[in-house]
């Protein structure tokens, strides 16, 4: 069937099967294999998806290379801009169905996936605007004689984009958008846990006028399709979002042709609350810094540092806040916390709940899997707050990727700076205070790519996002993001 995904208004389920998008055509996997994707809230099978592997990656890379060297190389910046604007209009028109697909496939509540409208459309239109704003420079050099020098900005080439399952629509746009804006071609490898929205976005790309081979989508498993894409000798760049363990493997695989790599990896972000903070804002802010998307956010503020003098009061309030959040099937508009994405993720998170208790941490809220009524069919863990956490505990050092807060007391600013930075990660961080001097001091001292002051997870297409240390390198959003997809060429001309 040519229509890849269809959302039924009655049942909310997806009809399939789904196939690969290669060279502008919907095709079966070369092996003929498929895999199931399920609704994590109910365990229901949503669709059978074509399982791409190395042979399919080869086909997609060849198509992307042909397009890059052929017709796409002659498309002018304003034409790329118009394609992106048409895509944005199509995404806006179909956004409710796309949000529902995200909810069905990876579990995030509709209250969250629908709230992503401004961000997704903003990214597409930002990249569209930048398509005509990229340029080189004329540079005065100091060589003797009449030699003129300038730079050109040129697309890096064929991009392999590997995305996670925790935000399929926005992650797809974050990779496809800059590729189209800069004149690159792209092979998108969605996560096997949530491939449906990226495939639907592929349909909209074709409808928007993206030429064959410019956007290719190959769902499959990381060990096969993902590994083949990372190591492929005709891929010029890999843009990866996911775990630091997989990121390390991608760096190793990229060595064959020294392809460019950008990595947006995991985190164990400190969220620091001072006694002078506005607690009415800080309690829900610190709670949703972790409970949003069931904690499946790389920059979640999972290490909650609270000044000693308000530690008991604040942790109790955050625990009560989390306990009052409604957990359930994300299709219910009143649900605030959905399921974890898979049985594997459920096992990981519940394993850390057990580890936290064994290490001596006290669960003030949550702490066990939810199995009441219909929740037993899905992968539900309630908002959990551990008190009595020490810096050396595994729940304070390792990324859990679940709705789990490790609350840690501190006494002064110098101490919390040192302890907040005592992690191998450096993606996000938060500071809650009314004291502007504290805010500026922490913003400069914290070794992380983002510092949110009296807010958390604020994002904008024009503002760069990325990490320090094991949280990766390169940036997404902003001008720095587009630079990741461009080569700089120096040109020298003797004019005399």
Q: Is 313 an active-site residue?
A: no
Contact, 383 vs 369, CB < 8 A?
Answer: no
Residues 261 and 276 in one domain: no
Whether 241 and 352 map to the same domain: the answer is: no
Predicted pLDDT at 496: 84
Q: How many Cβ atoms sit within 10 Å of the Cβ of residue 476?
A: 24
pLDDT attached to residue 13: 60
DSSP structure class, residue 452: E
Q: Is residue 466 part of a domain?
A: no
Q: Over 50: is that where the pLDDT of 8 sits?
A: no
Residue 1 lies in a domain: no
Task: Work out the average pLDDT over 315-321.
Answer: 98
- Assigned domain for 225 exists: yes
Q: Both 336 and 257 in a single domain? A: no
Would the pLDDT of 227 be above 60?
Answer: yes
208 and 283: one domain?
A: no
Would residue 495 count as lying in a domain? Answer: no
Q: Is residue 257 included in any domain, yes or no?
A: yes
Distances (CA, A) of 229 to 23, 252, 253, 390: 16, 13, 9, 41
* Average per-residue pLDDT for the chain: 95
Within 10 Å of residue 371's Cβ, how many Cβ atoms? 10
* Domain housing 186: 6-265+472-490
The reply to whether 441 and 480 lie within a common domain is no
Active-site residue identified among 264, 307, 476, 483: 264
Same domain, 215 and 331: no
- In a shared domain, residues 155 and 29: yes
CATH number of the domain encompassing residue 119 = 3.40.605.10
Q: DSSP for 166-202? A: SSHHHHHHHHHHHHHHHT-EEEEE--TTS-HHHHHHH
pLDDT tens per residue, range 77-116: 999 999 999 999 999 999 999 999 999 999 999 999 999 9
Find the Cα–Cα–Cα–Cα dihedral 133, 136, 138, 143, rounded to 10°.
170
The answer to whether residues 352 and 457 belong to one domain is: yes
CATH code of the domain covering residue 300:
3.40.309.10
Comparing CA positions, the residue from 158, 161, 160, 155 lying closest to residue 173 is 161
Q: What is the pLDDT of residues 241-252, one digit of tens each?
A: 999 999 999 999
Active-site residue, from 192, 203, 205, 298: 298
* Cα–Cα distance for residue pair 476/491, rounded to 1 Å: 28
Rounded Cα distance, 63 and 25, in Å: 11
Q: What is the pTM of this model?
A: 0.95
Q: Per-residue pLDDT tens for 416-462?
A: 999 999 999 999 999 999 999 999 999 999 999 999 999 999 999 99
Residue 249 covered by a domain: yes
Same domain as 201, residue 310? no
The verdict on 233 and 332 lying in the same domain is no
Our count of domains for the chain comes to 2
137 counts as catalytic:
no
In a domain, 243, yes or no: yes
Task: Mark whether 285 and 204 lie in a shared domain.
Answer: no
Do 184 and 124 lie in one domain? The reply is: yes
pLDDT of residue 43: 93
């Amino acid at each position: 069937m040519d229509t890849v995904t269809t959302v039924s208004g009655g049942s909310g389920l997806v009809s399939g099967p789904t196939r690969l998008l290669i060279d502008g055509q919907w095709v079966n996997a070369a092996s003929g294999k498929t895999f199931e994707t399920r609704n994590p809230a109910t365990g229901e099978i949503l669709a059978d998806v074509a399982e791409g592997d190395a042979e399919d990656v080869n086909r997609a890379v060849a198509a992307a290379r042909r397009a890059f060297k052929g017709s796409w190389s002659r498309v002018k910046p304003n034409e790329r801009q118009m394609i992106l604007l048409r895509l944005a209009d199509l995404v806006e028109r179909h956004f409710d169905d796309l949000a529902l697909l995200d909810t069905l496939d990876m579990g995030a509540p509709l209250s969250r996936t629908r709230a992503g409208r401004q961000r997704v459309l903003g990214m597409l239109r930002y990249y569209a605007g930048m398509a005509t704003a990229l340029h080189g420079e004329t540079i005065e050099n100091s060589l003797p004689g009449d030699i003129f020098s300038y730079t050109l900005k040129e697309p890096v080439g064929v991009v392999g984009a590997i995305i996670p399952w925790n935000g399929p629509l926005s992650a797809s746009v974050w990779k496809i958008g800059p590729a189209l804006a800069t004149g690159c071609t792209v092979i998108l490898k969605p996560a096997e846990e949530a491939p449906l929205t990226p495939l639907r976005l592929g349909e909209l790309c074709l409808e928007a006028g993206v030429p064959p081979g410019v956007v290719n989508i190959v769902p499959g498993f990381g060990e096969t399709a993902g590994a083949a894409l990372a190591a492929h000798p005709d891929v010029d760049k890999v843009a990866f979002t996911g775990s630091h363990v997989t990121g390390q493997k991608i760096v190793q695989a990229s060595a064959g042709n020294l392809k460019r790599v950008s990595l947006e990896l995991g985190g164990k972000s400190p969220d620091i609350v001072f006694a002078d903070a506005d607690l009415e804002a800080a309690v829900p802010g610190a709670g949703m810094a972790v409970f949003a998307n069931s904690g499946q956010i790389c920059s979640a503020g999972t290490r909650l540092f609270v000044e000693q003098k308000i530690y008991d009061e604040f942790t109790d309030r955050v625990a009560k806040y989390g306990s009052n959040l409604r957990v359930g099937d994300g299709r219910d508009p009143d649900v605030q916390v959905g399921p974890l994405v898979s049985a594997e993720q459920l096992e990981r998170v519940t394993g850390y709940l057990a580890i936290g208790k064994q290490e001596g941490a006290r669960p003030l809220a949550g702490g066990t899997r939810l199995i009441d009524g219909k929740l037993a069919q899905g992968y539900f863990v309630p908002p959990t707050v551990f008190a009595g956490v020490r810096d050396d505990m595994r729940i304070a050092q390792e990324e859990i990727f679940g709705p789990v807060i490790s609350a840690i007391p501190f006494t002064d600013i110098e101490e919390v700076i040192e302890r907040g930075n005592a992690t191998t990660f450096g993606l996000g961080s938060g500071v809650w205070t009314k004291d502007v001097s504290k805010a500026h001091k922490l913003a400069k001292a914290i070794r992380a790519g983002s510092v949110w002051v009296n807010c958390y997870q604020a994002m904008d297409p024009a503002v760069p996002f990325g990490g320090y240390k094991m949280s990766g390198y390169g940036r997404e959003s902003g001008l720095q993001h587009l630079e990741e997809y461009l080569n700089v060429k120096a040109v020298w001309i003797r004019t005399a």
